[in-house]
Amino acid sequence: MLPHPPPSRHVLVCVNERDPASPLGTGCGARGEALYASLKDLVTSRGAQRDVWITRTHCLGICPRAGATCVTLDASGERRVLSGVERADAQALLLPDPAHEERIATAELLDLLRDLEELQAGKVIDLARRLRPGLTDEDIRNPHDFPELADPDWHYADGVLTGIQSVRSAIAARARRRSAENRER
Ligand code: FES
């Protein structure tokens, strides 16, 4: 058994045909075959056969009444299941989805900021407890109640934490706004 480099994108296209009497409809059948042919033509015209794989499959379990069902698998591990895909969508299936790429990048950034926030919050409470043992997370939200917290190093650490939280909130709000805009398109 020998490993082989994976393609950057693998598109599975349902070409399953059902009995016309089936309550699930006729299946992706000819629509899937037409989409498959368009995808193969595009990939061949780009000379990308080694890097982009197009494969016919049997039923993928969605059985749309129009278009076909597809699954795209990327080398990054991303997987998308799409139904009602038409021949006109072939080009878009081979291109990265910019909105999707942006969502991934934003999620990674938010994860990173959450890790930084946890780290900094730990530093803030540790420093507060060195200044006054026994302080709780709730206590340090009201630093004016504790004269020991009138300490420039503690205020600096707390300010860094507030900065990280503000950036994280702003990025999360922007992601929600972008997501709503994309849904309205
Ligand atoms: S027939 Fe295509 S998904 Fe079921």
Q: What is the pLDDT of residues 108-134, one digit of tens each?
A: 899 999 999 999 999 999 999 999 999
Kindly list the distances between the CA atom of residue 174 and the CA atoms of 47, 97, 114, 163, 167, in Å, as whole numbers in the listed order. Answer: 39, 19, 16, 17, 11
Q: Which ligand 1 atom sits nearest the alpha carbon of residue 32? A: 2
Q: Is 99 a residue whose pLDDT tops 70?
A: no
Query: Which among 59, 65, 71 is the best mutation to test ligand 1's pocket, defined by most ligand atoms within 8 Å of the CB?
Result: 59
* pLDDT (average), residues 29-50: 93
DSSP code string of 18-68: --TT-TT-S-SHHHHHHHHHHHHHHHHHTT-TTTEEEEEES--S---SSSE
Query: Range with the lowest mean pLDDT among 29-38, 55-64, 84-93, 124-133?
Result: 84-93
Q: What is the rounded average pLDDT of the residues 149-168?
A: 96
Atom of ligand 1 nearest to the CA of 60: 3
How far, in Å, from the CA of 16 to the mean position of ligand 1? 6
Domain boundaries, the chain: 9-94, 98-184
Task: Provide the mean pLDDT of the chain.
Answer: 90
The strand pairing partners of 54, in sequence order, are 11
Specify the ligand 1 atom closest to the Cα of 27.
1
**Range from 1-5, 52-56, 154-158, 173-177 carrying the lowest mean pLDDT:** 1-5
CA atoms within 13 A on the CB side of 117: 14
Q: How confident is the model at residue 185 (pLDDT cuts 50, 70, 90)?
A: low
Contacting residues for 120 by C-beta, under 8 A, at least 6 apart? 157, 160, 161, 164
Q: Residues in the chain, how many? A: 185
56 close to 70: Cβ distance less than 8 angstroms:
no
pLDDT of the residue at 68: 96
- The amino acid sitting at 151 is D
Residue located nearest, by CA, to atom 1 of ligand 1: 27
Predicted pLDDT at 101 = 67
CATH class given for the domain over 9-94: alpha beta
Strand partners, 14: 57
Percentage of the chain lying above the pLDDT 70 cut: 95
CA distance linking residue 160 with residue 124, whole number of Å = 9
